[in-house]
Chains A and B, each alone.
Chain A
């Protein structure tokens, strides 16, 4: 029996190591391959820094909006089931099954100048395609289910017992939400927020279609990486990729922490 365990363990470690760890290691190795000085000057590249700032700016708007939506819609679906909320429950998960290219295409069809929504918006002077807003919209679309997928099962499991107790003690609705409901939801929400952030920072296919790839204006960090690979500057691309790899490692740490704390909360309750 011991040998079988050892065989399975080695096989799994080999597979995950080759498939997942090796590429990660390779990105970081390429980033540092030309020495520290080259790395620093590459990090100061104006186009990449502008792209990084654009990606952050998109996340600053898209992530809180999706978190607010995700938590709110989860409350609605779990606590007040109705026909509308059941339909919403099914539809929310659809972006997970849709290719990012298709998402970009859908948004372009709706919001380009002669699109369904694009035309009336353009009449009011609102242009929502090939600029910052189209990137925000694409980021929201691709990550919309990520928070509610974590929160809904938790809300179902936790039940309303604690909130009802708080209510009988005289707490108002807002206070109950922030002090009681969110308490049990903290780490599940943190997990969802982190996944949302990772998804928004890393979106490529949809942004490729809706952004117009305008250098220094709508060039996100992911676009910047692929532009660098297409324009004779692969090392610059690897530096950008390395930055995103580092942020992914950070995301992994937060996810691990969230999972650990969630398990503690679960064990404590049961």
Chain B
């Protein structure tokens, strides 16, 4: 029969076990304590870009000793998380309504469009010869265009949107409920028809066809790219910068810029938390500086600063001036304020009596072709 374990050995075991457990509460990394931490929340394709921008910023005097936390994911999801309390100082989201959601939620000041001028020292409202930015839209940190990515050699000879609805074409595009990229893709698809002279009804029916050709709808832009590169589908609709990143990574894919493409403008804002952090304000300034914009440009983004854009625009396909490139205000003067509910209102409305929404949303497009599905 074993002798009973002495009391102090029992106590020692409990103490050791408890200490091991308490290791769980230890802070994550043992890195040298930073002078400040900036919390960045962004949409999904930004990961590589921000890694480069943050490293460059940390090399500047304003950025020495500044640490970053980064969270990237589907734009609408990230917006909801920040609205629900996730720590964020700088939010770089996919399209302007995301920032507006955060303004409504009280996380971003209503004057966020002025931050570019006040902190970034860039006046986006100037036009003509004095223009500092490529488009007069304040609060935008990067531009891009909607692009197709196809298999090497473009076997299906895809050139424009109408080629996407030919038989045998399998489209990969993200899920519009969660992804900002999906909003751009679907808006661009709609606008492409308006550009070739079709009316709203015909454009909507084109959207139906477009959606019926999708074979995968991952939750974010970067997830869609990963699915496409892994072999799903034969054309991906995405941001130009994401497509260029795939080509530069050596994947067997090829960029096709559609004849009737669409301008993408990604907004950035300092949150109320970020406004009180000098390090965050300095980082915001860096995003709009020549150095920061240069890094974005080198990674496939179209810079918003005229100076950087004129230096780098030869790397990008044509169709890049305000007169030739459609943007959200070409569909309707109110821009996203009209287009977002027009194309993306969910068809579940929790307001008594308004269940049937007269405006046709994306969800109801699905319904109309979903007959024999699943």
**Physical contact A–B (CB less than 8 Å):** yes
User: Beta-carbon contacts of B23-54 to A below 8 Å, as 1s and 0s?
Assistant: 11110110000000001000010011000000
Complex contacts, A54 vs chain B, CB 8 Å: 28
Q: A61-B21, A230-B220, A230-B222 are in contact. Are A215 and B85 (CB under 8 A)?
A: no
Q: A50-B28, A58-B24, A230-B222 are in contact. Are A213 and B72 (CB under 8 A)?
A: yes
Flag whether B9 is at the interface (Cβ < 8 A). no
Query: What size tier do the contact residues of chain B reach?
Result: 35 or more
Measured CB to CB, the closest approach of chain B to A267, in angstroms, equals 22
Measured CB to CB, the closest approach of chain A to B106, in angstroms, equals 10
Flag whether B55 is at the interface (Cβ < 8 A). no
Complex contacts, A112 vs chain B, CB 8 Å: 84-85
* Other-chain contact of B87, A58, A130, A215 (Cβ < 8 Å): A130
Flag whether A261 is at the interface (Cβ < 8 A). no
In the assembly, what is the distance between CA of A232 and CA of B251, in Å?
9
Residue of A nearest to B45 (CB): A231
* Other-chain contact of A130, B85, B223, B226 (Cβ < 8 Å): B85
Cβ-defined contact, A179 with B85, below 8 A: no
Which residues between 118 and 154 of chain A lie within 8 Å of chain B, taking CB atoms?
Answer: 118, 122, 127, 129-132, 136
Flag whether B370 is at the interface (Cβ < 8 A). no
Residue of B nearest to A175 (CB): B4
**Inter-chain contact total with CB atoms closer than 8 Å:** 87
* Other-chain contact of A212, B24, B71, B218, B229 (Cβ < 8 Å): B71
Flag whether A217 is at the interface (Cβ < 8 A). yes
In the assembly, what is the distance between CA of A64 and CA of B69, in Å?
29
Flag whether A248 is at the interface (Cβ < 8 A). no
In the assembly, what is the distance between CA of A122 and CA of B87, in Å?
13
Which residues between 209 and 237 of chain B lie within 8 Å of chain A, taking CB atoms?
Answer: 218, 220, 222-223, 225-226, 229-230
In the assembly, what is the distance between CA of A64 and CA of B22, in Å?
11
In the assembly, what is the distance between CA of A131 and CA of B230, in Å?
32
Cβ-defined contact, B23 with A60, below 8 A: yes
User: Beta-carbon contacts of A211-235 to B below 8 Å, as 1s and 0s?
Assistant: 0111111100000000001111010
Cβ-defined contact, A215 with B69, below 8 A: yes
Complex contacts, A212 vs chain B, CB 8 Å: 71, 81, 86
Measured CB to CB, the closest approach of chain B to A140, in angstroms, equals 12
Cβ-defined contact, A130 with B81, below 8 A: yes
Q: A212-B86, A217-B69 are in contact. Are A231 and B226 (CB under 8 A)?
A: yes
**11 additional contacts, CB 8 Å, given A56-B24, A230-B222, A232-B229?**
A60-B23, A61-B21, A114-B84, A212-B86, A214-B86, A215-B69, A215-B71, A217-B28, A229-B226, A231-B47, A231-B226
- Residues of A that sit less than 8 Å from B by CB: 50, 53-54, 56-61, 64, 108, 112-114, 118, 122, 127, 129-132, 136, 179, 212-218, 229-232, 234
A-B CB contact pairs (8 Å), 14 listed: A50-B28, A57-B25, A57-B28, A60-B20, A112-B84, A130-B87, A214-B71, A215-B70, A216-B28, A217-B69, A230-B218, A230-B226, A232-B225, A232-B229
